[in-house]
Amino acid sequence: MDSTRRRMLGAIAGSLSVVAAGCLGGDDAGDAPDGVPQRIHEYVHTTQGYEESIPDRTGQSELRVAVGAGTGGLAFDPVVARIDAGTTVVWEWTGRGSTHNVVSDDGSDFSFESARHAEAGTTFEQPFDEPGIALYVCTPHRAQSMFGALDVV
C-alpha cells in the first residue's frame, strides 16, 4: 500500500474514532423521568443522591435542605424538590465536606447567593414567591457535581 493511501486510511480511522467517542459519551442525561422537568434532570443527573424522581414538598411553608449531606459531605439533601410559590427554603450546613455555599447557577429562574460557611448549624434562607425553576450549586464543589434544584409551582 502506498504512503498516500495509508495516510488517508489513517485519517479516516481517526475521524471515525472521534465520531464514535462523541456518540458514546457518558454526560448525556437522556429523557427526564415522569414528573421531573427536563431542565432539572439535565442539571442534576450526575449529582450524588439524585434518584430520578422529585419529592413533592408542596403544602409546606418552609423546606429545609441539608448542605454537606451524602458521602464526604458533598451533596444537598434533598437534591431536588417540588415546592409551592411562597415557600421559604432554608439551607442548613451539616459541618461536613469542608466549606460550602449555595449559589444560583446559569439557567436558574432565580438569583441568590450565600456566603461560604463550614460551621454546622449555619443557615441561609431564600423565599421563592413566583413559579419557576431554581438551579443551584456549591461553587467550591462544582467539580464534584454538588448541584441542587427546585421546581417552584
| Main-chain phi, psi angles of 118, to 5 degrees | -130, -20
- Rounded to two decimals, the pTM is 0.80
Question: Which H/E stretch holds residue 11?
Answer: helix 3-23
Whether the Cβ atoms of residue 139 and residue 103 lie closer than 8 Å to each other: yes
**Which amino acid is residue 120, in one-letter code?**
A
Distance, in Å, from the CA atom of 124 to the CA atom of 88, rounded to the nearest integer, reads: 10
In terms of DSSP bridges, do strands 132-137 and 103-104 run parallel, antiparallel, or are they unpaired?
antiparallel
Whether the Cβ atoms of residue 102 and residue 112 lie closer than 8 Å to each other: yes
Q: Residue 88 is placed in which grid cell? A: 421559604
Straight-line distance from the first to the last Cα atom of the chain, in angstroms, rounded to the nearest whole number: 66
Q: Domains along the chain?
A: 32-152 (2.60.40.420)
Distance, in Å, from the CA atom of 105 to the CA atom of 47, rounded to the nearest integer, reads: 15
pLDDT in tens, the chain (153 residues): 555 444 444 444 443 333 333 333 335 667 777 889 999 999 999 999 999 999 999 999 999 999 999 999 999 999 999 999 999 999 999 999 999 999 999 999 999 999 999 999 999 999 999 999 999 999 999 999 999 999 999
pLDDT at 30: 77
Q: Residue 102 is placed in which grid cell? A: 449555595
| Cβ atoms within 10 Å, residue 140 | 15
